Structure 1
Amino acid sequence: MTYSIVSFDPRNRFIGIGTVSGSIAVGSRVPWAKYPYGGVATQAYTNPSHGPRILELLSKGESAENALSISLKEDPFPEKRQIAVASWKYGLAAYSGSEIPLERGEYIGTYSVCIGNLLTNKTIPMIVCEYFENKVHEINTSRTYAEILLEALMKGHELGGDKRGDQTLALLVVGETEYSPYYDKLIDIRVDLDPDPFEKAWKILDKL
């Protein structure tokens, strides 16, 4: 179905999410982020309410693990969900329900969390996260952050990505803006049902 990375930049305090899928419109329901609290990816049989709910809990000072646990307890079907949470203030967490499609996996690094399901290769979350972890200290702008997220996701794509084929992609980077605290989006790119969503995402990013 989908593989995602949720991450943060410890130096610039950006928060970034990248997601790739064979499903349509993942950018509308998988990635959620709120500066300065954190980011969430909610996928598999997606319950999009986990995104804003977990961010609300983070804003109240809950750790990533506690926020994830509380939100899952409120869900009647947690076994169908896969969720990643990352915050430079409140930590990292991941959850994969027992009924989400195989192959599935999750990986927690120092600055990122990666999750995936219906994968051609269950090591994709680890490979994506490791690439990001090795590049995170090169981030100096929201643009370079988005580039590194896209490069990391491409590592998963090169391993086969979603079993149905990678057709949809979303990148979201938030941070402090001139309109803070009411608007925090620095980059918000979405590509839907494209035979090469990576190529299209690079073209969009090049125009920013």
Structure 2
Amino acid sequence: MTYSIIGFDRERDMLGIAVVSGSIAVGSRVPWARYGIGGVATQAYTNPALGPIILELLRKGLEPRKALEMALTLDKEKEYRQVAVMDWRGRSAFFCGRMIPKESGAYCTERAIAIANLVASEDLPELMCEVFERNIVKGICKALLEAIKEAHKAGGDIRGDRSAAVIIVGRTEYIPYYDKVVDLRVDYAKDPLRELENIFKKAEVM
């Protein structure tokens, strides 16, 4: 159904989220991020409201685990959700409801957290985090793209990958009103990873 990774680049003061799905327009509802606060990926049977709710709780000072727990108390169907959270200190938390599609999994490292459901292997989150950690020296954009590309090669969404997105937030000249450094997506394609990479090259982001 969907696989996502949140990554943090302390050296460049940026946080990003990459997501791929067999559903259309995954970038419109799964990834949420705010500069200086953190990022949220909310998926499976997605409740997009969890993104802004958790970010607001992080802004108020709650650490990721508490923010996630509090947000889920507002969701009567939380067992259908899969959510990952990372704050601007690199602390992370995840929730995998009992009713999310299998295969599913979650994994976190020092600078990344990944979640996946209805994918070829429950090991995809670990793979994404490891690839991100190996590539972060090349920049967060490269690290995120390489992570989802490797997950795609490993089987990705068992229905076939059809949409993908990457958002990255950081300090811009428009802070506090606009913090997007990157916000690119492919809403539907036979090979969304290739299309997304082509868009990045045309945008001269990488």
Is this contact kept in 1: 2:135–2:146, CA < 8 A? no
Q: Is structure 2 residue 188 aligned with structure 1 residue 193?
A: yes
1:168 aligns with 2:168: no
Instruction: Give the gaps of 5 or more residues in structure 2.
Output: none
Whole-angstrom CA distance in 2 between matches of 1:7 and 1:199: 21
Residues 123-170 of structure 1 deviation map (CA, whole Å, 9 limit, x = unaligned): 11100011101222332xxxxx22221111011001100010011000
Structure 2 equivalent of residue 202 of structure 1: 197
Partner in structure 2 of residue 8 of structure 1: 8
Identify unmatched segments of 5+ residues in structure 1: 140-144
Q: Which runs of 4+ in 1 moved over 4 A?
A: none
Q: What TM-score, normalized to structure 1?
A: 0.95
Partner of 2:83: 83
Q: Are residue 68 (structure 1) and residue 74 (structure 2) matched?
A: no
% identical equivalent positions: 49
- The answer to whether the 8 A contact 2:16-2:169 is kept is yes
RMSD: 0.9
* Equivalent of residue 150 in structure 1, options 140, 145, 153: 145
The 3-state SS of whatever aligns with 2:100 is coil
Give the distance between the partners of 1:90 and 1:52, measured in 2 at CA: 18
Corresponding position of 2:48: 48
For residue 11 of structure 1, what is the amino acid of its counterpart? Answer: E
Is this contact kept in 2: 1:44–1:100, CA < 8 A? yes
Q: Is the 8 A contact 1:63 1:90 kept in 2?
A: no
Specify whether residues 90 and 203 from structure 1 end up closer, same or farther in structure 2 by C-alpha distance, changes over 3 A only. Answer: closer
Output the amino acid matched with 2:95: Y
1:193 shift after superposition = 1.8
Structure-2-length-normalised TM-score:
0.96
Q: Which moved more, 1:80-89 or 1:112-121?
A: 80-89
